Structure 1
Amino acid sequence: IDRLAAEGMLFEKSFCTNSICGPSRAVIQTGKHSHKNGFMNNGNAFDWNQQTFPKLLRKAGYQTAIYGKSHLQGKPQGFDDWKVLPGQGLYYNPDFLTPDGKITIEGYCTDIVTDLAVEWLKEKRDPNKPFMLMMQHKAPHRNWMPAPRHLHLYDDVEMPEPPTLFDTWEDNAPPARFQEMEIDRHMDLNYDLFVDLTADFDQPAAQQRQDRSAWQNMKRMTPEQMRAWREAYGPKDEAFHKAGLAGKDLVRWKYQRYVKNYLRCIKGVDESVGRMMDTLQSLGLSENTIVIYSSDQGFYVGDHGWYDKRWMYEESLSMPFIAKWPGVTAPGSRSRAMIQNLDYAETFLDVAGVEIPADMQGRSLAPLLKGETPADWRHSIYYHYYEYPSVHMVPRHYGIRTERYKLMHFYQFGDEWEFYDLEKDPDELSNLYNDPAYSERIAATKRELETLRKQYEDDSDVSEMPDDWKKKMRSGHALDP
């Protein structure tokens, strides 16, 4: 990944429109906000009949393929070839949905997805056509299961803790104190961190809605895979039990186990990017192929004491975007222009010389990739998250991020707002919404927020909910029967 950045352009202010898997991918496909493309949360089914950039590229003569995670449900449209994971998919020996039905492929998911993409380039690509290939990994999604070769990576390294690991959310609006995504209280020792976890474990999770996919995945492991797994984690589990940790010491241990597994998964993705770049070079395609590295959102790795994503705070709002356009992007260059996943579709169409539909809501990044920032480039971005009540219990909210400030509205519970001065408070620890010194700035930012809502035609329901509903959502497990 560092190699790609050294050869291309890294965007330092890259953001998503809705920080959750499927909706973000729907925005990338369509170039439209969630309220426009209809895929607002992971419980929805994407309407593949609508306009997408792969369909338009294919119509223009491009050969198209997608391998790996789709998370949009249904059969992908606009692709000449595809093999996608059902839902989130599994790390070990995963199933894939294909035009010919479901298949199971033995191996580690990141490697398999890379193999499929490389095989397509070498054996299925039509050399007489331009191509568009999407290689989409499951990693590093929960439950953060590394490849066998990476199980001991970082064993002897003490990872630095984020300064907000023990955040108490005292200055936040109430939603931050009613979430269910804390490393301390919600990250499960067995199902998330693999303590004593085997295919025969099958014990109740600490949380009723705990993700048990790691245990389910273990039941599919080969004897060789399971042996490597237990050889790596068995001694660590024994040491953990002997230590008898509690309080902050336990949180610190959980964080170390979590961040190392997360980075082990990232290592697999990093190797995949290297393999793809080497493949393009070996096929003589590296100087005539635009390579993009991105994700579907950011992620909390102990920041604010959390894991997962969803919020409009910087860690999950931000997303990587690196682009190498041979002969166009200056090697090792950086851009500080504000971009969003909303812009990807228009960019891909623009650089391919395909007409951009008028109803797309983003903007082509082509000028930025050429080192030119248009005078009228945006100085603020719009965000809207919808999946509530649901896993992790992050309420619906919309907001605006400008170059310096951020304003968020958690509307279902009434007048709950947060306002941050990112220049003075990059960790977003001091909510200034009720600070008189910022009253004029907040009023101006609210006006700008409403301008964006009108610009993007967001007329989705932002009404306050009834008192009995609000009380239920903030008492115990709101989703329990």
Structure 2
Amino acid sequence: MNFRFIFSSLLYGLFVFFLSCSSKNEKQQPNILFIMSDDHAYQAISAYNDKLIHTPNIDKIAEQGIIYNKAFVTNSICAPSRAVILTGKYSHLNGVKGNSEVFDGSQQTVPKLLQKNGYQTAIVGKWHLKSHPTGFDYWNVLPGQGDYYNPDFIKQGKDTVYQGYVTELITKLSLDWLKKRKKDQPFFLMMHHKAPHRSWMPAIKNLALFDDKDFPLPDNFYDSYEGREALKTQKLTVKDHMDIRMDFKVPCNDCDTSDINFWAPGEYWRRLDRLTPEERKQWEESYKKEETEFLEVKDDETKYDQWKFRRYMEDYLRCIASVDESVGEVLQFLNETGLDENTVVIYTSDQGFYLGEHGLFDKRFMYEEALRTPLMIKYPKEIDKGASSGLLVQNLDIAPTILDLAQLEKPGGMQGKSLRETWKSDSVKWRDAIYYHFYEKGWGVPMHYGIRTDRYKLIHYYGEVDHWELYDLQNDPAEMNNLYGNVDYKEIQQELHIRLKELQQKYKDSVPD
């Protein structure tokens, strides 16, 4: 017997085995968990700003991965943002410019590409694209905006009603799918929260949160809008345009309503009717004090404004507290099941939100609070703990990033860049400007487009308002001083005009006449 031959064969076999194992590990596709909230302002995440709320679980993603300090959207409105994330294309190319358009589910999307390449795919929560989801093995989504209490869902095309609070239900349904999925395939789960979207209805258990917290008005709450014509036409101020019932939770049955704003009086009662009798009782007891306070302050303008802002912040942040709890539950599940090491976790919002800056709530405008969105990613295999980036990134980059992480080629039509470059190299060549275009009409916000560089921002409003604005973000981060036409910024203004046209050509967007 040739022992030398047998020994050599064994060594060769072991070598091939370990080589194949190494190769398999190198090619192993990670799981991808994409968590998106709705209208979650970066100012209301303590990893960005700890003045309003403590969000320990969302912060963990940043602490254990990378946080982006200059992440922006291409179009600050719900449905268009979701379409951009799915397709990696600007609104004018994916067909969803505003909330009224129906998303064409036949077009190429990230979940479809992942599904074709061995991933189990699922989406749970807010969809808001009018057509049914495609490219998902499992989908269970809210119809339209969805409800906070005992909400309807559409599960694989069938209407279903669940008992409970929407944020907690989305968490439970997501975890249920993760537990039942096929364990021999990587997963891609989009967990989309409704919260903290208007009208900010908190979990019953959280109705007393922040009752003892003081919320000072932002420095520019009483912005006069001098030199900014578009802001003068909007109907999105905290002090003048919020609904006494829907937003402030005051029934106002016996009020003199001649000078009180009602946005959707019937909607308030419809949404409360979804509560069980016990929940309704707790709700009314918790908000009883609001009507008493309202009657005390409504004739004093200063106190009334402060009260409105506090009411806005209380309920908005209560909704975020539930989102943070949700993130904690999911991260704990990943740790307990050993999935943490090979799972990419992305947290973001569909856009930013105004928390009283310029006196506003909502989004839409190209000012920083709505344009900028929270974004953080953790992936223990690749991303160092506590990393941060000041590069100009966008939600346009999410689709290419997910595909890159899944070791798939980015299709030619996608317009974003993989963020993987931003954490793998300190000297990455990156964009020096971003392009924005808001198309929707409503709430008095004119259509507009613009460019933002690291320091400057140029905006053009068109349609009913034809107006240009220029900001030096280094010297005027609050965007209070419109410098358009200022002789000291003549060269910068001309350069931004040129760069703006270049970006419109690059992204194939037509220039409005």
TM, length-normalised to structure 2: 0.86
Q: Does 1:127 align with 2:127?
A: no
Structure 2 Cα separation of the partners of residues 143 and 53 of structure 1: 31
Looking at structure 1, the residues matched to 103 and 61 of structure 2 have their Cα atoms a distance apart, in angstroms, of 31
> Take 2:246 and 2:362, find their aligned partners in 1: how far apart are those partners?
15
What is the 5 A alignment of 1:319-330? 319-330=373-384
Secondary structure of residue in 2 paired with 1:301? coil
The letter for the 1-side match of 2:206 is H
Corresponding residue of 1:61:
118
Question: After the TM superposition, which residues 186-265 of structure 1 pair with which residues of structure 2 at under 5 Å, given as runs?
Answer: 186-196=241-251, 207=261, 210=264, 213-265=267-319
Higher-Rg structure is 2
Asked whether the 8 Å contact 1:338–1:381 carries over to 2, the reply is yes
2:231 counterpart (158, 161, 176): 176
What corresponds to 2:93 in structure 1? Answer: 36
The answer to whether structure 1 residue 149 and structure 2 residue 205 are counterparts is: yes
* Contact 2:450/2:500 (<8 A) preserved: yes
**Deviation of the 1:138 alpha carbon:** 0.5
Q: Give 1:294's match in structure 2, choosing from 333, 336, 348.
A: 348
SS of the residue aligned with 1:447? helix
Q: Assess, with a 3 A threshold, how the Cα gap between structure 1 residues 5 and 299 changes in structure 2: closer, same or farther.
A: same
Matched residue SS, 1:381: strand
Equivalent of 1:436 in 462, 467, 487: 487
Matched position secondary structure for 2:382: coil
From 409, 420, 423, the counterpart of 2:474: 423
Percent of residue pairs bearing the same amino acid type: 47
Structure 2 CA distance for aligned equivalents of residues 88 and 414 of structure 1: 29
Q: Counterpart of 1:164 in 2: which secondary structure?
A: coil
Contact 1:188 1:205 in 2 (8 A): no
* Structure 1 residues 96-143: Cα deviation after superposition (integer angstroms, max 9, x where no partner): 1121411111111000000000111112x1100000001100000000
Conserved in 2, the CA contact under 8 Å of 1:17 and 1:342? yes
Task: Decide which of 420, 423, 429 is 1:366's aligned counterpart.
Answer: 420
Kindly tell me: are residues 33 and 233 of structure 1, through their superposed partners in 2, closer, same or farther at Cα, counting changes over 3 Å? same
Aligned residue for 2:139, secondary structure, equals strand
Q: Is the 8 A contact 1:191 1:212 kept in 2?
A: no
Match of 1:475 in 2: none
SS at the partner of 2:93?
Answer: helix
RMSD: 1.8
Distance 1:256 1:284 in 2: 42
Change (3 A) 1:358 1:288: same
State the SS of the aligned residue for 2:451.
Answer: strand
Alignment of 1:53-132 (within 5 A): 53-123=110-180, 125-132=181-188
The answer on whether the counterparts of 2:294 and 2:304 sit within 8 Å (CA) in structure 1 is no
Aligned residues between the structures? 455
Aligned partners of 1:205 and 1:291: how far apart in 2? 47
Say yes or no: does 1:49 pair with 2:106. Answer: yes
**1:434 CA drift (Å):** 2.0
Which residue of structure 2 lines up, in the alignment, with residue 140 of structure 1? 196
1:406 & 1:214 partners in 2: Cα distance?
39
The AA in structure 2 aligned to 1:122 is K
Separation (CA, whole Å) in 1 of partners of 2:119 and 2:427: 29
Q: Aligned residue for 1:471?
A: none
Gaps of 5+ in 2: 1-57
| Structure 1 ranges of 4+ moved more than 6 A | none
Question: Which of the numbers 302, 322, 344 marks the counterpart of 2:398?
Answer: 344
Give the SS at the match of 1:307: coil
TM-score (norm 1): 0.92
Deviation at 1:208, TM superposition (A): 6.8
Query: 1:16 aligned to 2:69?
Result: no
Q: Check if 1:387 corresponds to 2:444.
A: no
Any unmatched runs of 5+ in structure 1?
464-481
Q: Distance in 2 between matches of 1:38 and 1:197?
A: 42
